[in-house]
Amino acid sequence: MAIVLITLFTAIVYYFMNYRMADGHIKSIGIIYQDAPTFNQLPTIYFSEDKESVITFNRPYKLKKTSNLEYHLEIPDDTKLRKFRIYFEFPGEKLTFKLNFSTDTGTYQYKSLESLFPSGLGGVNLENEILSFRVERENGYLESSKVFSYSSDLKDIHIFFLSLTPIILLAFFFSRNLNFSIPKKFKLMECLMTALILSIFLPPPTYNIVLIMLFTFGLIKFRKRYWLPNNKLHLIITAFFLIYLVNNIICVLNGAKGFNTIERLLPLFLLSFLIPVYGRRTDLKNFLAVSLLIGAYLFVTSIIDFQIHNNLEFFSFTNFSKFLHPVYYSYLLFFSIIYILYEKKQSYRYLYLGLLFILLVFSGSKIVLSFTLLLIILKFLKFNIKAFCFVIVVVALLVSLPVKHRFSEILSADDISILEETMITDYSDQRLNGFTLRLLLWRETFATMTPTDYIFGKGVKKSTNVELYNRIENLGLIKHKSYNPHNQYVQTLWKTGIIGLIFLLMIPVYSFYIGLINKDKLMMTFALFMIFVMLSESIFGRVRGVYFFTTVLLILANTKHIYENSNTRNKRHTK
């Protein structure tokens, strides 16, 4: 019964946080100005309709004047207005107006920005509680923060409840067969380690708070003899962090501002200090539990989205992953899968694998999905680790720049031709896909570097990013102008030079060596996975990536593999 109530509570809270029931079918949007508007004060409106998950911005609408102070936008009768954005093209304008909606049941009015746009403001400065504001920048906007739903969307609500039935049954099953690795007796550091893993994929700043607590109490209970294990992975990770730290200090001494990069990478140092002492291999079980709990939440909420929009896109990529970056959630799912394959020998393992794989498909990371499929095929075809390594090397070579001409026939030749463009004017150009976009980003990154930069890097200062952003913008990729290189090797070489790149490579390579020596397939597979995904993503570009990869690698490196039939246990490493 408790599981049923929790599931329904989650669904209800999600609905009211993201949706707003419209008072009838919206027929028009009206703006009533306090004073007669000038041309510059007339906005452009975009909206999403019916099944659309987001505002597409490819259909601009202008308001029509109905009186001296009143303007309206008519909504077609067969269209359900979902979200809308009001754009003001000219900065410096001060406006005061009221917003009303005409529906088939009457007209109602929003008299406060706070009620309709609590978080949907861009380049707009509120003057007071009513609709009075100043446009601070070009193309400032007001956007409805919630999606409009209609009574007709809920006419088949019984389908929603029927679709929850298997979720509830699975939740009941997992609650009996999958437990968090929580200490039976209260031990502060073990409880904080558990909390750290549980918080990594929660919204910030949860994990930052837990890490600070863990580090504070860790200093008090620190034991040096545990901090010097046989392997030195924690020292390599610390050295990698120090390279960035020195680089950042030099940049600041030369006039750059801020330590944003160091703030993001600081967990590399803190975790390298804590996990060799307090990490337990049984903590890894919590990653599996977290992946399934998050997956249940994402699936239930996607069912609600599908119920309202009747659009399967809500089970794909960012629409499915909600508050999580889908690629980073895919990393969590991958680790959960290999944890079951190599570590968790129990009944129902294929049920776990099936559910995790479905969630991986919904998350939509092609790189992670391809790697997982390859792993599973090799695993169940009884390939040995040497064959697995060989295939990984081949795949890695195929996606690298030096041999792109050798597999051009695999992709459309027309896709690769976009690299010859000096200016890309069409955002929807079919040649611009995940692969060709990365090739362009890598090329433009290297184009910013001088021969000296290859040795010492361009630095972690803001101007380094701005130089790349300008090149990307000049190429015409306006929507991608704030992108990083989307390749951790390129990113590290670009920022810190060959020295930083060497230490970056040492992290997964040495991790693989540790796994090989200890015959730990889980460690070897995760190290290979890290090598692979760094080709397509700057995994240390987000704090969540720093936490996840560092935590997993250090726990694996500093704890012994528990063999299923072993009766021997190392008290500190395997408890």
Residue 348 scores a pLDDT above 80: no
Q: Residue 204: is it exposed, middle or buried by C-beta count within 10 angstroms (0-12/13-18/19+)?
A: exposed
Residue 436 scores a pLDDT above 60: yes
**Residue that wins the pLDDT comparison between 90 and 571:** 90
Which of 236-245, 268-277, 293-302, 403-412 shows the lowest per-residue confidence on average (mean pLDDT)?
A: 403-412
CB 213 within 8 A of CB 192: yes
Which of the four pLDDT bands, split at 50, 70 and 90, describes residue 452? very high
pTM, two decimal places? 0.86
User: Rounded distance, CA 438 to CA 531, Å?
Assistant: 17
User: Rounded distance, CA 138 to CA 93, Å?
Assistant: 10
Amino acid 389: pLDDT: 63
Tell me the pLDDT tens digit for each residue of 284-296. 989 998 999 899 8
Amino acid 509: pLDDT: 96
Tell me the pLDDT tens digit for each residue of 152-184. 888 777 777 777 777 777 777 766 666 666 666
**Residue that wins the pLDDT comparison between 511 and 220:** 511
Q: Which CATH architecture has domain 23-149?
A: Sandwich (2.60)
Amino acid 402: pLDDT: 45
Residue 332 scores a pLDDT above 70: yes
In the chain, % of residues over pLDDT 70: 83
Residue 208 has, within 13 A of its CA and on its CB side, a CA count of: 9
Amino acid 487: pLDDT: 95
Average pLDDT over residues 243-256: 91
Which of 38-47, 197-206, 478-487 shows the lowest per-residue confidence on average (mean pLDDT)?
A: 478-487
Residue 564 scores a pLDDT above 80: no
CB 60 within 8 A of CB 46: yes
Phi and psi angles of residue 293, each rounded to the nearest 5 degrees, phi first: -65, -45
Amino acid 143: pLDDT: 86
Residue 190 scores a pLDDT above 90: no
Q: CATH 2.60.60 spans which residues of the chain? A: 23-149
Amino acid 554: pLDDT: 95
* Residue 16 C-alpha from the chain's centroid: 24
Helix (H, G, I), strand (E, B) or coil at 121: strand
Helix (H, G, I), strand (E, B) or coil at 271: helix
Amino acid 574: pLDDT: 44
Handedness of CA 501, 389, 550, 559 (dihedral sign): negative
Amino acid 114: pLDDT: 57
Residue 237 scores a pLDDT above 90: yes
Amino acid 555: pLDDT: 95
Amino acid 334: pLDDT: 96
Highest average pLDDT, of 8-12, 46-50, 509-513, comes from: 509-513
CB 66 within 8 A of CB 72: yes
Helical (H) or strand (E) element with 196: helix 188-199
Q: Residue 512: is it exposed, middle or buried by C-beta count within 10 angstroms (0-12/13-18/19+)?
A: buried
Residue 543 scores a pLDDT above 70: yes
Which of 67-76, 334-343, 384-393, 418-427 shows the lowest per-residue confidence on average (mean pLDDT)?
A: 384-393
Question: Nearest-5° angle of CA 374, CA 376, CA 377?
Answer: 65
CB 93 within 8 A of CB 142: no
